[in-house]
Every structure is written in C-alpha cells, then in structure tokens.
Amino acid sequence: MKQLIVGLGSCGIAAGGLKIKKTLQDLVLTSNLDVSVSETGCMGMCYCEPMIEIRDESGQRSIYGFVDEKKATEIFESHIIHGAPLTASLIDPDYLSKQQRLVLWRCGAIDPESIADALNMDAYVGLKKALNSLSPTEVIEQVLAAGIKGRGGAGFPTGLKWKFAAGYDAEEKYMICNADEGDPGAFMDRSILEGDPHSVIEGMIIGGYAIGARKGYVYARAEYPIAIRRLKIAIAQAKEHGFLGKNILNSGFDFELTIKEGAGAFVCGEETALIESIEGNRGMPRIRPPFPAERGLFQKPSNINNVETLANIGWIIQKGAAAFADFGTEESNGTKVFALAGKVKKGGLVEIPIGMTIREVVETIGGGTSSGKALKAVQMGGPSGGCIPVELMDTTIDYKSLAETGAIMGSGGMIVMDEDNCMVDIARYFLQFTQSESCGKCTFCKIGTKRMLEILERITEGKGVAGDIEKLEFLSHQIKANSLCGLGQTAPNPVLTTLQYFRHEYNDHIQKKKCTTHQCKTLIRYNIIAENCIGCTVCAKKCPVHAISGKVKEIHHINQETCTKCGICKSVCKFDAVIVE
C-alpha cells in the first residue's frame, strides 16, 4: 500500500500543511485506491514546507516540497494514480545526505502519535537492554564512555552528571528534562518533541534507572502546544506498553513522568530557576553549591538534562558507547543538532557530526545566504553566544574551537547574517533580549546589562561618545565575572564578539555618525536622485506618512522631517531613483 505522509511539525502546520492533508484525504476517498494518508513531524527541511512524502510498496521514498492544494492534487493524480512522479517538484536529497542523524533519525520518518511506528524503528530497545542486561552503574559507565556532553549549552559531561546524582543516597530523587527552549531562532528541542517524543521519554526512563529516580518531570514552555500534546499522547502510550509506571518490563523498577508547563521565562532555562518554577515559585536561580545533584527539586538529589541530550541516550545504550564515539572529534563525541535560521537559503534542522566546519553547514547544507549577498557572520549560541565573522567560517564546530572564537556551542542556534546586517544593532538586539529576561536577583546582571543596553541604544541612534566602547568592555567583564547564573555570565558575549571582530562598525557609529549597512534608522536618510526620477508618483502614493511630494512627470522630493525611514519608497521604485545615504 502506498503511503502519503504530510509534514506536520510547527513549520509544516504554519505553512499550510493541514490543508494539504485534508486535500489528500479527500482525493483518497474519491479515488477508492488503497492509499493511506498520515502525518509526521518536522523532516528538517523547514525551508520547503509544506511537504509530502510518498512511500511505495517497496519502501521507495519521494519527497515533494513547496506544496499547495493545487500542487497536492497534481502530485496525487500523476504520482499515485498514473505512477509518474513530478520530478520537477521533488526535493534534492542532498540536504539530508550531508547530515548524520542519530537524534533526528526517527523525526520525519514516523507518525509521532503512533508508538507502533516508533517501536518499528527501535524505540525503547535501549531501555530494554538497560533494564534487562545492565546495572545502574553499568548504564552510567556506558554514558561516560560515550563521551556525550550536555547539549543544552554548557557542555558538561552527561555521564559525570549522572554519576554525581547517583552518588547521593536518598529515598526520593528526580530526573528532569529541560525543554524550556528560549533562544531566539532556536527550535531544535521543540522539533524533537514534536517529531519523536518517545526518544526523550526513553532517555528519561534510562536516566531515572541509572541515578535511582522513580519520578521525572518534563519542563516545557507552554508556547509549545503541539510538542506538549504529542508528549502527553506518547506518555499515555508508553504506560499502556509497560514502559512507564510500576515494575517496568518486570524489572522491579518504577518510574512516573509528569509534564510541567512553563510560562516562557528565558531564565527558567537555567537549571536551578527551572527547579524553583516546578516547585511553584518564581523562576529565579539559586546560589550554588549545593548543586542539584545533591539538593535539587524539593531539596532532593536531582539530575537535569536538555531534550537533545536525553534523545541520544536510547541510541547510545542500544548501539554502544563506542558506536557513538565514532562520530565527532577526539574531545567532542557524537552529533549536534542545529537550527539553521536567519538569512540562509535552506533554513531548517541540521544534525551533523561534531567537527564539521561552520562553512560546510552554512554553504554546503544551507546553500549560502538567501539574499545572494556576501556572508558576513554567524551568531552561534543564541543571546548567550557570539558572532563569528566570515574570516572564521572554517572553524570546526566543537566545544573548544567555538569557545576560542568567543562564541559557544549553546543549545544549537545558528543564525546567518549577510553584509546588510549591522553588527552593532545585532549586539543591541541580543542584549535587549537578555536584559529584559533578567530575573533581577543579582545587581551585576540586572543593572549592568541595563547600562550596557543604554550605551548601545545611544550608539545606534548616533549619540555615541568617546569612551563608550571602553565602558562596554569594562561592564561586560564585570557582569561575566560577578553574575549569579549563566544568563548574566554569558549576556555580554554578543557585545564582546562584535567588538572583537567588528570594532570598525562601532567606530563608524560613534565617530562618523554613520551606519554603513543602513540599518540604524536615525543614521540614514532616503533621497531621490533627480536624473533617475521620471515622476511616476508610485513612491508618493505608497508612502504611509505622505512624506513625498511632486507632480506627475516631475522630480519628486522627500521631506526628511516627516519621513519615518520605512523604506517602502525604495522597494517600490522601479527606476533606482531612491537611494539610502
């Protein structure tokens, strides 16, 4: 039986995937053919959603992208009814072939609401092996030997974290999944939960067994309704199949799982703030030590890992530590999932072996900039990371190499910027985000980031003065050294890296009162070139504030006092008469 599979991750749904599924279901009903219509999570190729995958009786896969309702009908009639694929609409498989999918290998391949699909692709095989063949200590030894580091950003060895939690003797312990993904441009964890929730559940059960925890919490932000709904379905299915609850697989091990929906505070991505939130308190970091492994949730030994880390665990236990260590570099094993976003041609989810270069990801997999303009920088690590310039695009993606650039691996955001991006404005944007998300508990973060933001805003408004750069550097180092948690300690990173690699742009803003990329509105003006203007009046008609005057077939003029610098006049002019200065 042929299968029609529609991508219905958040990206697919947002692009119109539900309409595509309904169209295909209607076509199947009227055709009386033996064809099924089902859904899957994000396939990773978010740039070409909505997508349809067709699997024939032999398992042959054909993937169509950029599908609308009309195209879906054409695909059905040609490929399904007549057996003639529409080759011009098929997606180039190179995007996936250049990756190494360990975490994402079931994402886009199964119906995330079907445990049968997950079991057919080896879900819970690692759990069965752990409970039937390995002691808790041996599980931890496997995770240690695999060399997996935390994929949430800090890069702390996961096995060592588990070992610490296992080492404390207590009647109650807790296994916690941090699914509070808050970085701008990051959607790795959401897509894993939407596409393969069983991988995370399996990792949590194995982790609970290893450290001696009988209860787990998944802390997921409420802004992820699809992920939470599918996770709830998966938890219910896991209970029905004996993977959760009492005496799991007749092993004598009990484990229960609860979902805690967070309100969306970025600081709750910090593990102790997350713990406070689960307990019903305001999400504010705790002073450490004691660390969560000793006194965490409800003052009991606890272990916290992020979604991607846990999604690796079942694979590691099933295949073995050595198989995982075959991927990556000597110091950083395995693969890493990235959300490739920004000005990139093929944005989406990318899972690569650690050690690939930034250039390979952006240009070879991502297809280069979407604008066709020169690549300028890549922001890695979100607001906690840094901007890596094009000169360093051959940097290998591993924890050590990225740290040497001033950036961090982070949870996996990778935002591409081209020559039109103003790096001062980029630094201002990220600092504005972290400053607004500061919980206010410690002075260096609360007040220090506020003062930094004020300086950056002055600079982008053309009001920067001599000494501002030095103040930014001084404040950055003080905030990094004295903030209580990771939010404050990493908040200055975007500023420090843009100062390191793009200092000349700061100088242009301060000394010349000029933004060379024309992004800072107060430092630019729109003008009309007399020799190019034919007086067509289009710009005047489209101007929302009526700042353009001129008669038909006469040269037009822009009133600088009225102009809001929205750029509409330039975008509608077909004669290149409008310029930005």
- Tell me what pLDDT residue 152 has: 84
Q: Which of 369, 403, 418 is the C-terminal boundary of a domain? A: 418
Q: For residue 560, which phi and psi values (nearest 5 degrees)?
A: -65, -30
Q: For residue 100, tell me if it sits in a domain.
A: no
- The answer to whether residues 27 and 72 belong to one domain is yes
Q: Look up residue 519 and give its two tokens.
A: 């992004």
- The answer to whether residues 446 and 499 belong to one domain is yes
- The answer to whether residues 152 and 273 belong to one domain is yes
The beta-strand segments (E) located in 117-159 are none
Determine which helix (DSSP H) or strand (DSSP E) holds 220, and give its type and residue range.
strand 215-221
Residue 94 has pLDDT above 80, yes or no: no
pLDDT digits (tens, 9 = 90+) for 209-266: 999 999 999 999 999 999 999 999 999 999 999 999 999 999 999 999 999 999 989 9
- The answer to whether residues 174 and 263 belong to one domain is yes
Which one has a higher pLDDT value, 61 or 133?
Answer: 133
pLDDT digits (tens, 9 = 90+) for 562-573: 999 999 999 999
| Mean pLDDT taken over the chain | 95
CATH assignment of the domain containing 83: 3.40.30.10
User: Predicted confidence band at 411 (pLDDT cuts at 50, 70, 90)?
Assistant: confident
- Tell me what pLDDT residue 28 has: 95
CA atoms of 179 and 202, how far apart (whole Å) = 15
Tell me the helices (H) and strands (E) count for the chain, helix number first. Answer: 24, 17
pLDDT digits (tens, 9 = 90+) for 515-559: 999 999 999 999 999 999 999 999 999 999 999 999 999 999 999
- Tell me what pLDDT residue 504 has: 97
The residue segments making up the domain with residue 35 are 2-91
CA atoms of 92 and 90, how far apart (whole Å) = 7
- The answer to whether residues 441 and 300 belong to one domain is no
Residue 93 has pLDDT above 80, yes or no: no
Q: Look up residue 517 and give its two tokens.
A: 């990329």
Residues 308 and 183 sit within 8 Å (Cβ to Cβ): no
- Tell me what pLDDT residue 428 has: 97
- Tell me what pLDDT residue 264 has: 84
Residue 30 has pLDDT above 80, yes or no: yes
Give the DSSP per-residue string, 255-298.
Answer: BEEEEEEE---GGGGSHHHHHHHHTTS---PPPSSSPTTTS-GG
- The answer to whether residues 169 and 296 belong to one domain is yes
Q: For residue 401, tell me if it sits in a domain.
A: yes
CA atoms of 195 and 107, how far apart (whole Å) = 5
Q: Look up residue 450 and give its two tokens.
A: 């506020």
CATH assignment of the domain containing 363: 3.10.20.600
User: Predicted confidence band at 97 (pLDDT cuts at 50, 70, 90)?
Assistant: confident
- The answer to whether residues 263 and 279 belong to one domain is yes
Q: Which of 365, 388, 418 is the C-terminal boundary of a domain? A: 418
What residues are paired with 306 via a beta bridge?
A: 178
- The answer to whether residues 477 and 548 belong to one domain is no
Q: Which of 368, 394, 418 is the C-terminal boundary of a domain? A: 418
- In 3D, which of 222, 223, 204, 224 has the Cα closest to residue 214? 204
pTM, whole model, 2 decimals? 0.93
- Tell me what pLDDT residue 330 has: 86
- Helices 197-211 & 125-133, crossing angle to 10 degrees? 10
- The answer to whether residues 286 and 410 belong to one domain is no
Span 84-99, average pLDDT = 87
Q: For residue 46, tell me if it sits in a domain.
A: yes
CA atoms of 358 and 404, how far apart (whole Å) = 14
CA atoms of 394 and 402, how far apart (whole Å) = 11
Give the largest CA-CA distance in the chain: 87
Span 110-123, average pLDDT = 97
Q: For residue 120, tell me if it sits in a domain.
A: yes
- The answer to whether residues 172 and 265 belong to one domain is yes
* Number of domains the chain is built from: 5
User: Predicted confidence band at 148 (pLDDT cuts at 50, 70, 90)?
Assistant: very high
What does DSSP say about strands 548-549 and 557-558: parallel, antiparallel, or unpaired? antiparallel
pLDDT digits (tens, 9 = 90+) for 348-392: 999 999 999 999 999 999 999 999 999 999 999 888 899 999 999
Q: For residue 49, tell me if it sits in a domain.
A: yes
Q: Look up residue 202 and give its two tokens.
A: 């399996």
Residue 469 has pLDDT above 80, yes or no: yes
- The answer to whether residues 253 and 162 belong to one domain is yes
Span 432-459, average pLDDT = 95
Q: For residue 516, tell me if it sits in a domain.
A: no
What does DSSP say about strands 302-306 and 348-353: parallel, antiparallel, or unpaired? unpaired
CATH assignment of the domain containing 308: 3.40.50.11540
Q: For residue 355, tell me if it sits in a domain.
A: yes
- Tell me what pLDDT residue 57 has: 86
Q: For residue 520, tell me if it sits in a domain.
A: no
Residue 331 has pLDDT above 90, yes or no: no
CATH assignment of the domain containing 549: 3.30.70.20
Span 175-204, average pLDDT = 95
Residues 221 and 181 sit within 8 Å (Cβ to Cβ): yes
- Tell me what pLDDT residue 210 has: 98
- Tell me what pLDDT residue 109 has: 93
Q: Look up residue 493 and give its two tokens.
A: 């990173």
CA atoms of 63 and 53, how far apart (whole Å) = 4
- The answer to whether residues 168 and 310 belong to one domain is yes
Q: Look up residue 528 and give its two tokens.
A: 């009309």
- Tell me what pLDDT residue 363 has: 95
